[in-house]
Amino acid sequence: MATTVNAGARLDRLPISSFHYRIFWLVGAGMFFDGYDLYVAGGVLADVIHTHFSTLPQNLKFLSLTFVGMTLGALITGFVGDALGRRFTYQINLLIFGLASLAAAFAQNMDQLIVCRFVQGLGLGAEIVVGYSTLTEFVPPKTRGRWLSFMAFIVVAGFPATAILSYLIIPNFGWRPMFVIAGIGSLIVWYLRKRLPESPRWLESKDRTAEAATLLQAIEKEVAPAGGLPAPAMAAAVAPVPASAMLKPPILQSMIVGSWALVTINTLIFGFVIFLPQFFLRQGLTITNSLAYTLVLSAASLIGCAIGAYTADFIGRRWTIIGASIAAIVFGWFYARFNAASDPAAVLSVGFVLIVAIYVLTAVLFGVYTPELFPTEIRLRANGICNTIGRGATVVSPFVVGFLMVHYHLPGVLWLMIALLVVQIMLVFAWGVEPRNRTLEDVAAQAS
């Protein structure tokens, strides 16, 4: 990597200003609709099967092809984002899932809806990779965990937003307006995000030093306080990192940790959280009560992300992941013992804590940890591959969960979650890197 511009150190010593908040909200607005589109499946699938627009096998196909699209989107975005830049990539993916959402609202049968959902998945998978990675390259190391966890908070806010809208809209107007909201909102954000700058770190990694220097000067002029900016730290001499480094230690271990962590959290979300309305229906609740229960539990997702935002910088990423995994195992075991129809208080109280633990993991694993593990030159590719593996596992997880629901009911689903969490704890403890309070260049130097 060229060091003449010293982009990393110059960005890391900037005081927090309106520039950082502008980047956060422009990226975050798109990420919110990404989260909304992810979680809209829960209420929509409960309604389409309730109204006989679909069958359970079609619902599972809907979820599976969503994940196929997200898997391909994550993989393609990693290569495109490292080759053509962050700015180009996060614009094109938002356009894709915005247009596909509008098309989904007018699907005439379940097969058409499944095709639209696959195209949506391409944009959804891309947004997760490029959104977190882009913000990672702009915010300072001392508060990076907090910034990225709150970005996850914005994404997860799509869960209660979807739950509220599903509760208000679906029983009265059906599922189609849910996709109209996603499409229109995404296209508005697509237009506004034209103001986002390219990452100076990426420009420097491509030896586009003149562009990086000009952009950094503009940023520094905008945020400089009255007394001027402190001198940046000297740039560490870091050799360029080729893509082949992903196949060798120590980056290989980080790839394994990142991939398994994303397999686990994707399965927790899309094998358990997304299925909550259908679990409740199978336990004897009405569609309205099922959506109401889901709405109550969705509030825990925001609390979990807020806790993750605090602990990621306070105690570090590794111990936050390990602690939240243990909590999810314990409360998952208790949750498996209750039935929604016969013991609603227990379902809501234990389920609330379980969802909090899951979303602490969501904030740290999606938003903070995985993008930090890799050098700038390969950040999107490595993060994209980890997300591809994570999404790839969820291509089959709806069918696994469907089988477990039929034959072993909710306890069978939860035992699958617990097994994944146990392996995650062992991998993070053995091979997990701790990026807390470290510059991205420092982490890259250790890995080179």
Q: What per-residue confidence (pLDDT) applies to 235?
A: 64
> Whole-angstrom Cα distance, residue 436 to residue 350?
31
Residues 6+ apart with CB under 8 A from 210: none
Residue 85 has pLDDT above 90, yes or no: yes
Q: What per-residue confidence (pLDDT) applies to 269?
A: 85
3-state helix, strand, coil in the chain (%, to 5): 80, 0, 20
3-class DSSP state of 55 = coil
Q: What per-residue confidence (pLDDT) applies to 2?
A: 44
Instruction: Please identify which residue in the block is written with the tokens 């908070």.
Output: 153
Tell me the angle at which helices 86-105 and 110-136 cross, rounded to the nearest 10 degrees. Answer: 160
pLDDT tens-place string over residues 168-219: 999 999 999 999 999 999 999 999 988 899 999 999 999 999 999 999 999 9
Which helix (H) or strand (E) is 295 found in, with range? helix 287-314
Whether the CB-CB separation of 350 and 334 falls below 8 Å is answered with yes
> Whole-angstrom Cα distance, residue 23 to residue 142?
18
257 token code pair: 């940790």
157 token code pair: 């806010």
> Whole-angstrom Cα distance, residue 442 to residue 439?
5
Whether the CB-CB separation of 425 and 365 falls below 8 Å is answered with no
1 token code pair: 């990597």
Q: Domains for the chain: give ranges and CATH numbers.
A: 7-221+243-447 (1.20.1250.20)
How many other CB atoms are found less than 10 A from the CB of residue 2? 16
> Whole-angstrom Cα distance, residue 368 to residue 307?
13
Give the percent of the chain with pLDDT over 70. 95
Closest CA to 151 of 127, 123, 180: 127
Closest CA to 66 of 101, 107, 27, 94: 101
Q: What per-residue confidence (pLDDT) applies to 336?
A: 80
3-class DSSP state of 448 = coil
How many other CB atoms are found less than 10 A from the CB of residue 426? 12
Confidence grade of residue 382 (pLDDT, cut at 50, 70, 90): very high
Highest mean pLDDT (candidates 125-139, 282-296, 326-340): 125-139
Q: What per-residue confidence (pLDDT) applies to 448?
A: 55
Residue 25 Cα to chain centre, angstroms: 16
Whether the CB-CB separation of 341 and 285 falls below 8 Å is answered with yes
Residue 1 has pLDDT above 50, yes or no: no
Residues 6+ apart with CB under 8 A from 404: 412, 413, 416
3-class DSSP state of 196 = coil
> Whole-angstrom Cα distance, residue 45 to residue 393?
20
pLDDT tens-place string over residues 98-109: 999 999 999 999
Highest mean pLDDT (candidates 127-141, 222-236, 342-356, 393-407): 127-141
Q: What per-residue confidence (pLDDT) applies to 238?
A: 60
Q: Omega before 411 cis (within 30°)?
A: no
357 token code pair: 């633990």
- Rounded to the nearest 5 degrees, what angle is found at the Cα of 144, between the Cα atoms of 143 and 146? 65
Q: What per-residue confidence (pLDDT) applies to 338?
A: 73
